[in-house]
């Protein structure tokens, strides 16, 4: 039997509240996903549910095709115990990330693996263009039978809240339409399943929580570096939205001591900021792939930008750390892994100098597990959240 871990620490504890049946099934499914292959006895131990309750729940999960038997555990007393795993083909979802510089679509299976991915590097794509791209992708998925559409449970969309409002170089005036349209309605007719809309940074943080480093870190800060700069907070295994759903959003903090400054943090720390820095040195870069193989001259520019970015992020990150006391701070987004790693290394080096100060321990800054497709994958996980995963919102819903 697996070593017992307090269920409250894992977020895998059952409940006797009104929505107990739904919540206990979600918790059991999450435990199988996190610990599988796993026996029913170990599930009861982890979730604090009774053996009969676990037997009923796992029977239902097996009948619905959400979990599979994965052989028997031998070597103990009595009959060998059946082990269970999540069925990758048990459910599927579509994740769509819309941003000012790209459109990315992924198809996820029930264990969070990407079955299909496509991306279009396009600046300021209009709604009709994005819808056509999604329709074309869904047609490919159907024709090639890459996923089972009978088990498609929904589409998640991750996009910046301010997509149509923030003015950026070369942004067409017509792009403001993104602030006026019903985005969910735009895509609802393409699939016979719900469409869920979320802020892109929140989607990325939720994805990291459910299928990334969040499996080991229950409380963390998430910073998303994309065309802009966003963020999110996960506290005790739950995404913390804040009063207006904008927790962890540091991109609009003013730079410098003047609170009225029009220059914000995302004006200097973002993909667009890095492209602009390279352009000032005569180096053309307009998509993340341009940052993969750099000349020595271009690398020197990137290194200089990283030094400045770390200095700009130093105090906002430190403030969040002291306020929340997280286990970790993850950075994700569309920047190449080497650049994110370079930024993390610089920040950790700066924080190492604080060891003699009377401050809470500074959480290590690391590259997020979902990285370059964080928003698309996080968006794809949203339908799983709605239907299957143990989240506080599902527990508290009225019947």
Task: Tell me: pLDDT of 216 over 60.
Answer: yes
Which two tokens mark 41? Answer: 């006895």
pLDDT of residue 359: 81
Using pLDDT thresholds of 50, 70 and 90, give the confidence band for residue 4. Answer: very low
DSSP secondary structure string, 378-390?
HHHHHHHHHHTS-
Phi, psi (deg, nearest 5) at residue 106: -130, 150
Report the alpha-carbon distance of residue 396 to residue 5 in Å, rounded.
25
Report the alpha-carbon distance of residue 316 to residue 318 in Å, rounded.
5
Task: Tell me: pLDDT of 8 over 50.
Answer: no
Task: Tell me: pLDDT of 271 over 90.
Answer: yes
pTM, 2 dp: 0.84
Using pLDDT thresholds of 50, 70 and 90, give the confidence band for residue 2. Answer: very low
Residue 258 to residues 204, 263, 271, Cα–Cα distance (Å):
31, 10, 24
Across all residues in the chain, what is the average pLDDT?
87
Indicate the pairing of strand 328-333 with strand 365-367. Answer: parallel
Helix locations, the chain, DSSP H: 7-10, 20-35, 40-47, 51-63, 127-143, 183-188, 200-211, 265-268, 271-280, 296-324, 337-352, 374-387, 392-396
> What is the rounded average pLDDT of the residues 273-300?
94
- Helix (H), strand (E) at residue 157: strand 152-159
- β-partners of residue 329 are 221, 365
Least confident stretch, 137-151, 251-265, 279-293: 251-265
pLDDT of residue 13: 55
Which two tokens mark 391? Answer: 């989240």
Task: Tell me: pLDDT of 285 over 80.
Answer: yes
Task: Tell me: pLDDT of 17 over 90.
Answer: no
Report the alpha-carbon distance of residue 87 to residue 244 in Å, rounded.
36
- Residue bearing the bigger pLDDT, 169 or 387: 387
Cα 328 to its chain centre, rounded Å, is: 15
Task: Tell me: pLDDT of 370 over 70.
Answer: yes
Give the three-state DSSP class for 333. strand
pLDDT of residue 7: 36
Task: Tell me: pLDDT of 393 over 90.
Answer: no
pLDDT of residue 376: 94
Using pLDDT thresholds of 50, 70 and 90, give the confidence band for residue 397. Answer: very low
pLDDT of residue 116: 97
> What is the rounded average pLDDT of the residues 323-352?
95
Q: Which domains does the chain have, with CATH numbers?
A: 7-86 (1.10.10.10), 92-206 (3.30.420.40), 213-368 (3.30.420.40)
pLDDT of residue 368: 95
Using pLDDT thresholds of 50, 70 and 90, give the confidence band for residue 22. Answer: confident
Task: Tell me: pLDDT of 16 over 70.
Answer: no
User: DSSP class of residue 179?
Assistant: G
- β-partners of residue 319 are none
> What is the rounded average pLDDT of the residues 37-59?
93
On whether the CB atoms of residues 88 and 109 are closer than 8 A, the answer is: yes
Least confident stretch, 150-154, 207-211, 265-269, 296-300: 207-211
pLDDT of residue 74: 56
On whether the CB atoms of residues 70 and 58 are closer than 8 A, the answer is: no
pLDDT of residue 162: 81
Least confident stretch, 79-93, 112-126, 168-182, 254-268: 254-268
pLDDT in tens, 254-267: 987 665 668 899 99
pLDDT of residue 394: 43
Task: Tell me: pLDDT of 388 over 60.
Answer: yes
- β-partners of residue 196 are 156
pLDDT of residue 260: 63
pLDDT in tens, 60-90: 999 999 999 987 755 555 567 899 999 999 9
Residue 41 to residues 57, 75, 87, 115, 199, Cα–Cα distance (Å):
13, 15, 20, 32, 39
pLDDT of residue 349: 96
What's the number of CA atoms in the CB half-sphere (13 Å) around residue 95?
Answer: 35
Give the three-state DSSP class for 100. coil
């Amino acid at each position: 039997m697996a070593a017992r871990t307090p269920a409250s620490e894992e977020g895998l504890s059952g409940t006797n509240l009104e929505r107990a049946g739904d919540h206990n099934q979600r918790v059991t499914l999450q435990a199988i996903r996190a610990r599988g292959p796993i026996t029913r006895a170990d599930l009861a131990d982890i979730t604090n549910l009774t053996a009969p309750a676990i037997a009923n729940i796992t029977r239902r999960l097996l009948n619905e095709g959400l979990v599979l038997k994965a052989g028997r555990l031998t070597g103990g007393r009595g009959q060998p115990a059946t082990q269970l795993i999540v069925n990758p083909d048990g459910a599927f979802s579509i994740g769509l990330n819309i941003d000012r510089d790209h459109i990315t679509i992924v198809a996820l299976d029930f264990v969070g693996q990407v079955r299909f991915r496509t991306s279009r590097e396009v600046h300021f794509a209009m709604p009709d263009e994005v819808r056509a791209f999604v329709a074309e992708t869904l047609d490919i998925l159907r024709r090639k039978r890459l996923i089972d559409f009978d088990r498609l449970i929904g589409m998640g969309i991750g996009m910046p809240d301010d997509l149509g409002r923030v003015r950026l170089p070369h942004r067409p005036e017509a792009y403001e339409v993104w602030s006026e349209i019903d985005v969910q309605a735009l895509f609802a007719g393409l699939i016979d399943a719900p469409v869920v809309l979320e802020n892109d940074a929140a989607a990325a943080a939720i994805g990291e929580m459910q299928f990334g480093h969040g499996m080991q870190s229950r409380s963390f800060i998430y910073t998303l570096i994309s065309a802009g700069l966003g963020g999110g907070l996960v506290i005790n295994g739950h995404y913390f939205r804040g009063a207006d759903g904008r927790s962890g959003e540091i991109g609009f903090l003013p730079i410098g001591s003047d609170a009225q400054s029009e220059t914000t943090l995302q004006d200097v720390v973002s993909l667009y900021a890095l492209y602009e820095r390279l352009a000032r040195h005569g180096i053309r870069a307009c998509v993340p792939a341009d940052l993969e193989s750099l000349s020595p001259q271009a690398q020197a520019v990137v290194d200089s930008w990283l030094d400045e970015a770390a200095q700009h992020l130093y105090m906002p990150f430190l403030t969040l750390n002291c306020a929340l006391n997280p286990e970790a701070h993850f950075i994700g987004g569309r920047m190449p892994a080497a650049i994110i790693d370079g930024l993390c290394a610089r920040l950790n080096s700066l924080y190492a100098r604080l060891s003699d100060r009377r401050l809470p321990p500074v959480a290590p800054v690391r590259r997020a597990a979902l990285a370059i497709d964080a928003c698309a994958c996080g968006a794809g996980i949203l339908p799983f959240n709605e239907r299957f995963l143990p989240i506080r919102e599902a527990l508290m819903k009225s019947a």
